[in-house]
Homo-oligomer: A and B are copies of this chain.
Amino acid sequence: MAYSEIKALLFDVFGTVVDWRGSITREMQRFGSEQQINQDWQQFALDWRALYQPAMEGIRSGKRGYVKLDQLHRENLQQLLRTYGLESLTEAQLGHVNRVWHRLQPWEDTLPGMNRLKKHYVLASVSNGNVALMVNMAKHSAIPWDMILGSETAQGYKPQDKVYLHSAQMLGLEPAQCMMVAAHNDDLYAARALGFKTAYINRPYEYGEGQINDLHAEEAWDIVGEYMTDVADELVC
């Protein structure tokens, strides 16, 4: 394919760039130990994430105006407090727990791949995370973004068309000049339908051992790889 046309790589982040499950599990294991709260923190991470799509759906459907993901995460966390013995935490502690999403860590292959790609392409996040979340995560984990786009700058949630289209438009690019990089087939279906190039990275342990979706590329995406470094191998000679 004509890679020479591509100017920017647009990245899904949760699951594609960072390991949210592992990061939250590890941090909450430490936090739980300090607070003497003994729980299955991996299940906590999975349960918290399970409330993500339903929360966004209220906004996508128009039932609710746009609010940032930080706020949705906080509302969803509220639903889990009793189950996970967190109901006696202070508001400051809950704010700290909620911002664990600002401290997610990359998969091992992420930074080696992205740092090579950055020399040749504009790297932008097109995530459902809000700007502060993405900026803080990048500072925490050295993710080399050129720009943070996606949900908050477009005032919507993927897979709404406007999130992809507004991101390309802000970069002054046509969709065909942008490649969406994601570990989720749905994200790539939406992007391809709008004319974006697509790269799939397989993350079969995003949800842990029991993952049932996105175990492989469901379409002939423009690039299909196991690691971010595979995308770099393909695009950077």
- Interface residues in chain A, defined as those with a beta carbon under 8 Å from any beta carbon in chain B: 70, 122, 124, 130-132, 135-136, 138-139, 145-148, 152-153, 170-173
Contacts and interface: CB of A to CB of B under 8 A. Distances in A.
B139 A146 contact: yes
B170 A147 contact: no
A146 B133 CA distance: 12
How many copies of the polypeptide does the oligomer hold? 2
A136 B124 CA distance: 12
A148 B122 CA distance: 13
A147 B171 contact: no
Nearest to A134: B147
Contacts of A122: 135, 139
Nearest to A131: B170
Contacts of A124: 135
A161 to B, nearest CB: 19
B171 A132 contact: yes
Contact of A131 (B136, B145, B147): B147
Given A147-B148, A148-B147, A170 B132 contact: yes
9 A-B pairs closest in CB distance: A132-B172, A131-B170, A135-B147, A132-B171, A135-B146, A147-B148, A122-B135, A153-B153, A135-B171
A208 to B, nearest CB: 30
Contacts of A146: 135, 138-139, 145
Contacts of A173: 132
A171 to B, nearest CB: 5
**Which residue of A122, A132, A135, A139 has the most chain B CB atoms within 10 A of its CB atom?**
A135
Contacts of A152: 170
Nearest to A170: B131
A1 to B, nearest CB: 23
